[in-house]
Amino acid sequence: MQKPLILVTNDDGITAPGLRALVGYMKEIGEVVVVAPDSPQSGMGHAITLDNTLYSTKINTDAKNGAKAEYSCSGTPADCVKLALQELLDRKPDICVSGINHGSNSSINVIYSGTMSAAIEAGIEGVPAIGFSLCDYSWEADFGPARDFVIRIVREALVHKIPKGVVLNVNIPKSDSKEIAGIKICRQARANWKEKFDKRTNPMGKDYYWLTGEFELLDKGQDTDEWALANGYISVVPTQFDLTAHHAIQRLNNWNLNE
């Protein structure tokens, strides 16, 4: 039987330890092709390159430690997936996995996440997709404890199939594998960022700003991704890219819009 073809991407860049770990895990499941940004693209969301050219460079990899093929791309995470599906792959991948991100993409963070946007782009194109994130922003983060869980989730997704129009957002708590309580299917917690700008002035007298802020959890539910992570579980949130608020359609139909 032909091995599954797995497209691996991320937003931290092609040299990121999280991506290197994910490549190793996916090689246990199928053939791996990597298409990832040539530099960090965190917080890019679903941005695509429209006003510039895109470049892709094939990287020579060690067959034992690397993927079947690896490409660095000058664009955003969404660009990487578009380029992979339209130009670089010789067949449609069986699944796209994005990550493993250095840092959480739970709750409202999914909106800004390049990691999840890459997975969502694959989902839009009809490729089953999963975004993986570890709740540890350190470049030296230990991805080892997540290994068995990541492999299990991907294998289950290949066997049982992810529902159409849905992408999985998986967040992993920072902990030893023995401390991970299990996996929970969750909803996205209601939360927000209470943002601040640190205003400074450069030596030339020009003002500049650093974005800072605090994460504000507005949801006390015990069925959310934030609750799961706080209690040692890996959270799995089925995320859709149809942004229609279907429940609001009837209410808006009662407005006098055509008078």
Q: Tell me, what's the pLDDT at 168? A: 98
Written as tens digits, the pLDDT of the chain (259 aa) is 689 999 999 999 999 999 999 999 999 999 999 999 999 888 889 999 999 999 999 987 665 566 889 999 999 999 999 999 999 999 999 999 999 999 999 999 999 999 999 999 999 999 999 999 999 999 999 999 999 999 999 999 999 999 999 999 999 999 876 789 999 999 999 999 888 899 999 999 999 999 888 889 889 999 999 999 999 999 999 999 999 999 999 999 999 988 7
How much is the pTM?
A: 0.92
Domains and CATH numbers, the chain: 5-189+221-253 (3.40.1210.10)
At residue 170, the 3 state secondary structure works out as strand
SS3 sequence of 31-89: EEEEEEECCCCCCCCCCCCCCCCCCEEEECCCCCCCCCEEEEECCCHHHHHHHHHHHHC
Beta strands 129-134 and 56-59: pairing type?
unpaired
Amino acid in the structure at residue 259: E
Is 38 annotated as a binding-site member? Answer: no
Is 11 annotated as a binding-site member? Answer: yes
In 3D space, the residue among 152, 117, 131 whose CA is nearest the CA of residue 43 turns out to be: 117
Is 94 annotated as a binding-site member? Answer: no
Is 101 annotated as a binding-site member? Answer: yes
